């Protein structure tokens, strides 16, 4: 037996004999759990416009079914959409506006004269006292205007939510033009910090904005990555505005001349598009109107030449800034519950592969501190940020072949896979994970030009309660009917592997600060990684052992004074 398997077997034996009983994880078919409430009581799924609100404690489900032709259609908000008492933020065609569901009723949030296309309620505090979201102030347009603004709604004494408060924001983006969207996506537990994004004038560049309410009740905003935009200090030329308007030849024809032109045009079509018969507008104009049209066209051509030169300079500078600045995925935001940091998915296009037809999109998670502007970059994995719990950023990568998700937990510049984290909860959990999250799926092999069967484990895109005692995830299923499926782990009624006892002897466990707490009677303590390599060995360790290990799963072997040995797996 390999050394690594030996120590894992020892850990499994310890759990089997003396571990606390684990609650059976739950499996949900045709479900994509997107959020868990802070207290772990509620979960919510959205699949193709159908939303399911799940009471985790009772198992009760409330289903809001999308219609056969997509109406009504339910959309969850983009942030932390569940309060501790089950208030759910949503947008639905049933009401046409940003709204919420609570105690069996749908209610609209007040939005005044705002529209109902891009408005949404996105984030709510655990106690439900404040909601943040987007206010749709202008219908969808190609005009150079801001269409969406950030807002908050506060709960009133009667339980309803009052009029919105528009959060302060810049009027112009980094190009000097009006941004298309300014959003409010996630809110801190105390409701005094909100994070969103600015979507630039072209809708292609996204960067974060943070709104903070001071002790005096006034709101202000900061742009945490503003100093990183345009690092080469490219000078942005003045926006040339809209192009000159081309003169329309039909404006220089009277009704009789328009009819004559149409007759000639119909004859050209009937001839099978004989080029000799193609009619020109100018041939049907009076001499005076033709001269006026040609003068207008000449003026337009000259003006357009000047405008296009300015536009090309503006466009070139824009893309130079775009290529040199960090850009973020739209709505990929996770705010820490205390409002002191947030995570976003940094996006760029990698064109370094000469064999690739198109640039390859690459996602990395950045965690940005709001106390010192420190940025922690997780650039060793392609990940998208989703949520925040127990100090971890919950993230996922996407398998390029199947487009299925695998979860990761990020903290302090280190990461652990969701698979290892769950398996560290006990052998029974590991068995369930291996049974329910490992699949055979068809994959196209580009080298052999054949479809092959690949055995893969997909743990899904994770969300969790604040204390990580309730964890849910979902992924697409390419191994069955291609419907999504979700998994839910509830560790609230079990002590977990890091606190098990063997034969009633002393407990060995990682504490919150990373050190090991050692119970009585331990004569020697050894810590191994999952490959069986001994990282630490201490004789007569005492009650506390300082450890400088990275986040991860370890095997801890304790030898007692009577010669007995216990091994457990523990998560740091």
The CATH number of the domain covering residues in 497-571: 2.60.40
Note every long-range contact of 366-370, with CB atoms under 8 Å and residues 24 or more positions apart, other chains counting.
366/326, 366/328, 367/341, 367/342, 367/343, 367/393, 367/410, 368/208, 368/224, 368/225, 368/341, 368/342, 368/343, 368/344, 369/340, 369/341, 370/193, 370/210, 370/222, 370/224, 370/339, 370/340, 370/341, 370/342
Q: What is the dihedral of CA 501, 506, 511, 513, to 10 degrees?
A: -160
What pLDDT digit, counting tens, does each position of 212-239 carry?
999 999 999 999 999 999 999 999 998 8
Dihedrals phi, psi of 292, to nearest 5 degrees: -65, -40
530 band by pLDDT with thresholds 50, 70 and 90: low
C-alpha neighbours within 13 Å on the C-beta side of residue 295: 7
List, for residues 252-304, the tens digit of each pLDDT value.
999 999 999 999 999 999 999 999 999 999 999 999 999 999 999 999 999 99
217: left (phi over 0), alpha (psi -120 to 50) or beta: left
Taking CB atoms within 8 Å and a gap of at least 24, the contacts of 270-274 are none
Residues whose CB falls within 8 Å of the CB of residue 261, separated by 6 or more in sequence, listed in order: 253, 279, 281, 284
Supply the pLDDT for residue 435.
Answer: 86
Q: How far is CA 240 from CA 159, 312, 512, in A?
A: 50, 10, 57
**Average of per-residue pLDDT across 24-33:** 91
Residue 389: count of CB within 10 angstroms of its CB: 24
Provide the phi-psi class of 273: left if phi over 0, else alpha when psi is between -120 and 50, else beta. left
pLDDT digits (tens, 9 = 90+) for 431-461: 899 888 888 777 777 677 777 777 889 999 9
Interval 378-433: pLDDT, tens: 988 888 888 999 999 999 998 877 788 999 999 999 999 999 999 998 888 998 99
CB 122 within 8 Å of CB 89: yes
Q: What does the mean pLDDT of the chain come to?
A: 85
Task: Write down the pLDDT at residue 138.
Answer: 65
Cα 224 from Cα 240, distance rounded (Å): 29
Which range (26-30, 121-125, 422-426, 528-532) has the least confidence? 528-532
pLDDT digits (tens, 9 = 90+) for 44-101: 999 988 999 999 999 999 999 887 665 678 889 999 999 999 999 998 765 557 889 9
Q: What is the pLDDT of residue 503?
A: 37
Q: What was the pLDDT predicted at 216?
A: 96
Domain boundaries, the chain: 249-323, 497-571
Mean pLDDT value across residues 175-188: 94
Q: For residue 76, what pLDDT is reported?
A: 92
pLDDT at residue 365, as a whole number? 94
pLDDT at 21 (0 to 100):
55
């Amino acid at each position: 037996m390999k050394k690594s398997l030996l120590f894992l077997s020892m850990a499994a034996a310890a759990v089997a004999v003396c571990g606390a009983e684990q609650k059976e994880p739950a499996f949900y078919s045709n479900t994509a759990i997107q959020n868990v409430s802070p207290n772990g009581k509620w979960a919510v799924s959205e699949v193709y416009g159908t939303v399911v609100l799940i009471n985790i404690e009772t198992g009760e489900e409330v289903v809001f079914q999308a219609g056969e032709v997509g109406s009504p259609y339910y959309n969850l908000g983009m942030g932390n959409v569940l309060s501790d008492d089950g208030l759910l933020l949503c947008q639905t065609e049933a009401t046409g506006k940003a709204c919420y569901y609570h105690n069996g009723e749908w209610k609209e949030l007040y939005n005044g004269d705002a529209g109902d296309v891009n408005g949404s309620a996105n984030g709510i505090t655990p106690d439900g006292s404040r909601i943040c979201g987007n206010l749709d102030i202008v219908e969808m347009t190609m005009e150079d205007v801001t269409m969406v603004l950030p807002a908050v709604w506060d709960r009133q004494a009667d339980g309803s939510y009052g009029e919105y408060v528009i959060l302060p924001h810049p009027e112009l983006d980094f190009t000097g033009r009006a941004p298309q969207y300014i959003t409010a996506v996630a809110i801190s537990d105390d409701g005094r910090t909100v994070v969103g994004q600015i979507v630039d004038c072209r809708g292609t560049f996204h960067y974060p904005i943070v709104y903070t309410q001071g002790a005096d009740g006034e709101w202000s905003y900061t742009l945490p990555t503003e100093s990183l935009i345009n690092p080469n200090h490219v000078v942005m030329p003045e926006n040339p505005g809209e192009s000159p308007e081309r003169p329309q030849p039909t404006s220089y024809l009277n009704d009789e001349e328009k009819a004559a032109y149409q007759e000639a045009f119909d004859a050209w079509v009937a001839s099978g598009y004989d080029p000799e018969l193609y009619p020109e507008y100018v041939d049907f104009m009076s001499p005076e109107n033709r001269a006026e049209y040609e003068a207008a066209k000449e003026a337009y051509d000259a003006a357009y030449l000047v405008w296009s030169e300015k536009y090309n300079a503006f466009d070139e500078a824009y893309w130079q800034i775009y290529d040199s600045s960090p850009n973020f995925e739209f709505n990929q935001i996770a705010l820490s519950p205390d409002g002191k940091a947030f995570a976003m998915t940094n996006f760029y296009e990698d064109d370094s592969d000469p064999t690739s037809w198109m640039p390859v999109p690459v996602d990395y998670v950045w965690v940005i501190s709001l106390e010192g502007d420190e940025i922690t970059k997780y650039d060793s994995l392609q990940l998208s940020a989703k949520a925040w719990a127990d100090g971890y950023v919950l993230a996922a990568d996407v398998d390029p072949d199947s487009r299925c998700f695998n979860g990761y937990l990020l903290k302090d510049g280190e990461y652990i896979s969701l698979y290892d984290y769950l398996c560290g909860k006990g052998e029974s959990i590991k068995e369930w994970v291996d049974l329910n999250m490992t699949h055979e799926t068809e994959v196209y092999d580009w080298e052999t030009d054949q479809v092959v069967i690949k055995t893969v484990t997909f743990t899904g895109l994770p969300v969790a309660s604040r204390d990580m005692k309730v964890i849910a995830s979902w992924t697409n299923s390419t191994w069955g009917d291609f419907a999504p499926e979700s998994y839910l782990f509830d560790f609230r009624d079990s002590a977990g592997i890091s606190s098990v006892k063997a034969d009633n002897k002393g407990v060995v466990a990682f504490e919150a600060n990373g050190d090991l707490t050692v119970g009585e009677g331990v004569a020697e303590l050894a810590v191994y990684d999952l490959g069986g390599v001994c990282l630490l060995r201490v004789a007569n360790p005492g009650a506390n052992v300082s450890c400088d290990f990275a986040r991860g799963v370890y095997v801890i072997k304790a030898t007692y004074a009577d010669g007995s040995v216990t091994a457990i797996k523990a998560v740091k």
